[in-house]
Amino acid sequence: MSELPLEPERHEDAEALLVLDGRLELEVEQIVVSVGAGELYPVPAGCGARRPPRELGDAGGP
């Protein structure tokens, strides 16, 4: 799997990301947020969101 940063996704409609288990690191408009299990994170329409690039040697999960 490549560790190169992906381009942010942008959607015309607002999204809500629900984390069922574990933790999601997310970069929204260049601000990194951490969303835990059972939490809902709203992404406003038109905002760019992506998984942030990992540091070299990071053994975190997918």
pLDDT digits (tens, 9 = 90+) for 4-61: 557 888 999 999 999 999 999 999 998 999 999 999 999 999 999 998 876 544 445 5
Per domain, the residue ranges of the chain are 15-50
Do the beta carbons of residue 29 and residue 42 sit within 8 Å? no
pTM: 0.69
CA angle at residue 60 from 31 to 58, to 5 degrees?
A: 80
